[in-house]
Amino acid sequence: MNGDDAEVGSSLKLLAKTSVIVLIFVILSKLLAYLYKIIIARGFGPSEYGLFTLALIVTSIFVSFASLGLSDGLLRHISLYKNKDMKKAKYLLKLTFHINLFSGVIAGVLMFLLAETIAINFFHDPELVIFLKAFSFAVPIAIIGGLFLTVLRSFEKIAMYTFINSVFQNGIRILVIGTLLFIGLTRSAIITSYLVAVIAFAIMAYIASRKEVLKVLKSKNLEKGKKKLRNQYFSYSWPIVFLGIIGGIFYWVDSFVIGFFMSSADVGFYGIAFTIVSLYGIAPELFMQLFFPLVVREYSKKRMRVVQEVSKQVSKWIFALNLPLFVMIFIFPGAIINVLFGEAFIQGYNSLRILAVGGIVSSIFMILSTNLLSMKGKTKLMLMNVLVISVINLIMNIILVPRFGIVGAAFATSSTWVLLSLVLLFEVKSLVSVFPIRRKMLNLVLAVIIPTVIISYLKSYIPSSFISLITVALLFLLLYIIFAVLFKGLDRNDLMIWRTIKERFSK
């Protein structure tokens, strides 16, 4: 085994060990997040869920704008400098904190002042005003909390990062909303639970990252090259400002257009479908928290073969995990919605089926390719990608939503997800010399065919209940694993990682 092969194996083992911890937190996080949304959906209905969704969208856009892309820039630069030039990391951390504190407060004030204009003139729903005004207080707090988490992630403290960002925050939301509903509060329960969770998140993020923050701040001051470093930092970061805003528009434009042309209830129907498709995000989340710092480190050492092999293996793992999820969502969309969120949201089943197609493609290629382009410093190209695709998505939604409703929105969004994934795949191949696809992925496609035929046949005999759905899912998963082995969908890296995971659990 040569040096690069050893480094590939070491990197994959590190990803696997971290992913085991992250897996536990991610599963717990998703369960808590879904429980929170189920409480809102079942307790308040489609209209209230739609208002909550619209408020989250508007808040995320203000947060993206106010963060100025500096959090992402800080992640890359601390990852680069933490082992060789800590004084640069110190300078950038202090600079980022002061800028983001100021921009966060300004953005929060603007969102508060514009709440009525946005709610009434754009979404034609006065009931949205109170949500927007309340959520505006979360903007500066979320930005500063996110900054502390960035420091934690840059030092590869992935388990704690995932716990705070996902498990802790969602746990607080459920605790607060459950308590308030128990004592008889209604709409204020949604708003209060969201705000309390954001405040608790920021406090916990600071406590957890304090050691790493102090490690950076105790280093020597940067005396020379501040202007050059600032220019380099902002040159990397400023496109991410627009990338974040346009990225938010790209992901939320469908809900925006539905809210403009239709009702908040329709936003709720569509939001449930979108929420279920977001399950595709679990697999990338297992690896991406560590993947970016890891490939940046290998790239800085000019080990491109390591970057390529790790990228291919991670894309295969994401595909292997999401393929059975795609089949279940595509075959049982109505049953999944009914079991999780109730019959009131069943109108979203066709949208869910359409989004499932674009969702699996984007989960494999979009996130991983974006990380590789970011590693290369191609943030301006990433900005142009998302800008062009967002315009296409917006035009398609404006044309299709008035005519086909939420199904038209799903088709527009799913199509643009696939298009952006293909564009990113081509760019990564051309600019980074990485093609994150393994031939073994075809073997996995062959392995899933027979289990899919079996559960499709059983579909008409299965009642729409939680127990039935879980039973079918477990049967399908078992058959999928058996045929994946028979069709040789696994390689030596998979077996190595399986041994690593077994060793970790046996300790």
Instruction: Please tell me the total count of domains within the chain.
Output: 2
Lowest-pLDDT range, 88-102, 128-142, 219-233, 361-375?
A: 219-233
Same domain, 324 and 467: no
The band of 367, judged by pLDDT with boundaries at 50, 70 and 90, is confident
Burial class (CB in 10 A: 0-12, 13-18, 19+), 371: buried
Same domain, 445 and 499: no
Distances (CA, A) of 435 to 311, 329, 423, 429, 430: 8, 28, 12, 5, 9
Task: Assign residue 464 a region (left: φ > 0; alpha: ψ between -120 and 50; beta: otherwise).
Answer: beta
What pLDDT score does 224 carry? 66
The residue segments making up the domain with residue 478 are: 440-490
What pLDDT score does 488 carry? 79
Q: What are phi and psi of 487, to 5 degrees?
A: -90, 10
Spatial distance between the Cα atoms of 91 and 318, rounded to a whole number of angstroms: 37
> Computed from CA positions of residues 62, 29, 193, 53, in that sequence, does the dihedral angle turn out positive or negative?
positive
What pLDDT score does 192 carry? 93
Q: Where are the alpha helices (DSSP H) in 278-378?
A: 282-300, 304-331, 333-341, 349-375
| Calculated CA dihedral for residues 257, 262, 264, 270, nearest 10 degrees | -60
Same domain, 151 and 261: yes
Same domain, 344 and 452: no
Share of the chain above pLDDT 70, in %: 82
In this model, does residue 100 exceed pLDDT 90? Answer: no
In this model, does residue 1 exceed pLDDT 50? Answer: no
For residue 254, give the nearest of 102, 379, 415, 115 by alpha carbon.
415
Same domain, 484 and 336: no
* Higher pLDDT among residues 87 and 476, named by residue: 476
In this model, does residue 352 exceed pLDDT 90? Answer: yes
CB contact at 8 A, 319 and 367: no
Same domain, 400 and 455: no
What pLDDT score does 164 carry? 85
Helix (H) or strand (E) holding 247: helix 226-261
Share of the chain above pLDDT 90, in %: 28
* Residue whose pair of structure tokens reads 């799913």 in the numeric block: 414
Rounded to 10°, the helix 70-81/349-375 angle is 40
Helix (H) or strand (E) holding 250: helix 226-261
Q: How many CB atoms lie within 10 A of CB 98?
A: 10
In this model, does residue 356 exceed pLDDT 90? Answer: yes
Lowest-pLDDT range, 155-159, 264-268, 480-484?
A: 155-159
In this model, does residue 133 exceed pLDDT 80? Answer: yes
In this model, does residue 258 exceed pLDDT 90? Answer: yes
Rounded to 10°, the helix 349-375/333-341 angle is 90
What pLDDT score does 59 carry? 93
What pLDDT score does 478 carry? 93
The pTM for the full model equals 0.75
Which of 213-217, 333-337, 466-470, 503-507 has the highest average model confidence (pLDDT)? 333-337
CB within 8 A of 70, min separation 6: which ones?
A: 96, 99, 100, 147, 233, 237
Q: Tokens at residue 461, please?
A: 């005999």
Average confidence (pLDDT) over 175-200: 88
Average confidence (pLDDT) over 441-450: 90
In this model, does residue 183 exceed pLDDT 50? Answer: yes
Give the distance from CA 359 to its chain's centroid.
12
How many residues would you count in the chain?
507
Q: What is the pLDDT of residues 39-96, one digit of tens each?
A: 888 888 888 888 998 999 899 889 888 887 777 777 766 666 666 666 777 777 778 8
What pLDDT score does 505 carry? 44
The average confidence (pLDDT) of the chain is 82
Same domain, 361 and 481: no
Distances (CA, A) of 487 to 147, 354, 482: 45, 28, 9
CB contact at 8 A, 236 and 379: yes
> Computed from CA positions of residues 125, 127, 130, 135, in that sequence, does the dihedral angle turn out positive or negative?
negative
Which of 203-212, 297-306, 396-405, 440-449 has the highest average model confidence (pLDDT)? 396-405
User: Could you say which DSSP state residue 221 is in?
Assistant: P
Same domain, 155 and 217: yes
Burial class (CB in 10 A: 0-12, 13-18, 19+), 84: exposed
Spatial distance between the Cα atoms of 166 and 33, rounded to a whole number of angstroms: 8
Average confidence (pLDDT) over 307-334: 87
Spatial distance between the Cα atoms of 202 and 324, rounded to a whole number of angstroms: 36
Lowest-pLDDT range, 48-57, 210-219, 427-436?
A: 210-219
Q: Where are the alpha helices (DSSP H) in 3-85?
A: 3-67, 70-81
Q: Tokens at residue 48, please?
A: 């209230």
What pLDDT score does 490 carry? 72
Distances (CA, A) of 135 to 38, 112, 130, 141, 281: 20, 8, 8, 11, 25
Average confidence (pLDDT) over 295-314: 75
What pLDDT score does 350 carry? 93
In this model, does residue 7 exceed pLDDT 90? Answer: no
Tell me, what amino acid is at 336?
Answer: I
Same domain, 291 and 422: yes
Same domain, 29 and 122: yes
Distances (CA, A) of 174 to 41, 68, 163, 169, 342: 13, 31, 15, 9, 19
Same domain, 131 and 155: yes
Spatial distance between the Cα atoms of 446 and 254, rounded to a whole number of angstroms: 34
Average confidence (pLDDT) over 99-107: 91
Average confidence (pLDDT) over 275-300: 76
The band of 289, judged by pLDDT with boundaries at 50, 70 and 90, is low
Spatial distance between the Cα atoms of 119 and 97, rounded to a whole number of angstroms: 31
Same domain, 381 and 460: no
